[in-house]
Structure 1
Amino acid sequence: MNYELLCSKVIAITRLTGNFIRKEAMAFDANAIEYKGLNDLVSYVDKNAEKLLVKNLTKLIPDAGFITEEETVNTKGKTYTWIIDPLDGTTNFIHGIPTYSISIALYEEDKPVIGVVYEVNRGEMFFTFKGGAAYLNNKEIRVSANANLSQSLLATGFPYYQFDKQPQYIQLFTEMMQKCHGLRRIGSAAVDLAYVACGRFDAYFEYNLNSYDVAAGAYLVQQAGGKIMNFAGGDEFLETREILATNGKVTDEILTTIKKYFH
């Protein structure tokens, strides 16, 4: 498999889907939203973008499976599986806040081989592939070199359900805000991870995420020289639905703080 060539084709498909999302955003009616659960929003834009992605990605690898957020299709492939979020940051999109993305990962035998995150409004294409580096619009990117948490900018996400963990999460926020330059909540996990990969954020942490939220972004961070783990410091971040992404230099202090409130 020529992963670089395949990645270039995925990028073209991603741009096509991004054009559709941008067009729909111009005339989107908030009355078109649906609720999948408490504070869990979806629109026809998410669903149609996913169908467009599935249709075109299937042409690249006809026997590949799919794990998708909107479940327009959900099948496990024998060798290859696409893990996609057609619109990561739906709540931002619905409210007209211009930070949302398309996230696409390809797994081969349960290992990532391609990761693409497209921040739609800024036109920033983050991508990586097995055997290559991590890139932003064809320029190689690396995680930050900052080794001091006190000089770090961090990102997180706020829980919008599973509020049973909210008290300790707020305690964690409080401590982390006192130890760094600031704590940001953008509203798209894929973008948060891409920003860690290119050094804008020094670290990112969040819980209660799904594979399609983080699969592509996590691979970007790893390929850019960063570290990915769960709140216990293990590799099973997809299974435990907890993720800590860092530049590798501020990991210990952040992980120690997280463990005070989780595990």
Structure 2
Amino acid sequence: MNPEHPVLSPPDLNPGLVELIDLVADRQRADFGHMASDLKSDGSLITACDRWSDATLVEGLARLFPGEGVLSEEGDKTVPKTSAYWVVDPLDGTTNFAAGIPYWAISIARFEAGRPVLAVLDVPPLRQRIVAIRGQGAWRNGRLLLAPSGQSHPAGCASLCSRSIGVLQKLPNQRFPGKIRLLGVASLNLVSVAMGQTISALEATPKIWDLAAAWLVLSELDCPIRWLVRSPESIDAGSDLSAADFPVLAADRPETLARFMPWADALVA
């Protein structure tokens, strides 16, 4: 961490950052069930709460960490040219939020040298906050998370997104090696692997703001990740990521990754 910026020591975050996330999470819980939605140009949904959350987080981060750029889903989608910058998804799971399904997340990650070094995934309806710091570990509500490779997973659940489920038709003669779950929140689908809730997650079209925080949580808990088309590592400053997808397969351990690779390969074939 750059010493001129506030120290972010696990599991205690900068108080201003905690206050900012609390403010947005409280507003989202208050707005839940009362928001009409509109269609964006890409066909995805957006609500007034998305816009307010994005503006509040972007303005708050700029105030707390002056000189560090911000890339956000509803704002500037170009990679900042500052040495450190933030990637924000203010409300991942807008379709759930708008439909009255209580499962969505606030995703925030701080990048240095093209990789996340701090991640916060807040799940307002569950009042859960997952924090990861590069090289130091990951926590949920202040309790240290353990690598899923050291745990048993008898349920064998695997997460697919709505755009990746088509791989089942591409391999009709092979039995999918997991009990399928579609939860509708890319960041939480990926991080569910790190928390031991699922054994793998296959995402067809995640954007950088969908995966930024989950990427660090997965890395800190030794979960193997396979970028299927391109890697988000060290993207050039000034790159426009508004239309950039990063298809990815994440797993709880290397042997699980190998078992799911045929479906990952089919996704991008």
Q: Which sections of structure 1, spanning at least 5 residues, go unmatched?
A: 160-164
What's the TM-score, normalizing by structure 2?
Answer: 0.83
Shift of 1:73: 7.6
Q: Which amino acid aligns with 1:185?
A: L
The alignment covers a number of residue pairs equal to 252
Shift of 1:37: 2.9
- Maintained 8 Å contact 1:231/1:258: yes
Structure 1 runs of 4+ aligned residues shifted over 4 Å read 72-75, 146-151, 172-177, 234-240
Provide Cα deviations, 1:6-36, integer angstroms capped at 9, x if missing partner: 844434321221001111115x142xx2211
Aligned to 1:21: 28
CA RMSD, aligned part only?
A: 2.8
Q: Which sections of structure 2, spanning at least 5 residues, go unmatched?
A: 2-6, 236-243
What is the correspondence of 1:172-211 to structure 2 with a 5 Å cutoff?
178-180=176-178, 182-211=179-208
More helix per residue:
1
**Alpha-carbon distance in 2 for matches of 1:12, 1:39:** 33
Shift of 1:172: 5.3
What's the TM-score, normalizing by structure 1?
Answer: 0.85
**Alpha-carbon distance in 1 for matches of 2:31, 2:174:** 38
**Alpha-carbon distance in 1 for matches of 2:204, 2:95:** 18
Q: Which amino acid aligns with 1:205?
A: L
Aligned to 2:80: 76
Equivalent position SS for 2:24? helix
Aligned to 2:137: 133
Moved more, 90-99 or 14-23: 14-23
Equivalent position SS for 1:37? coil
Aligned to 1:162: none
Change (3 A) 1:146 1:201: farther
Aligned to 1:244: 249
2:81 is equivalent to residue 47 of structure 1? no
- Maintained 8 Å contact 1:231/1:255: no
Shift of 1:49: 0.5
Provide Cα deviations, 1:208-239, integer angstroms capped at 9, x if missing partner: 1110011101111111121222226x745886
Change (3 A) 1:251 1:97: same
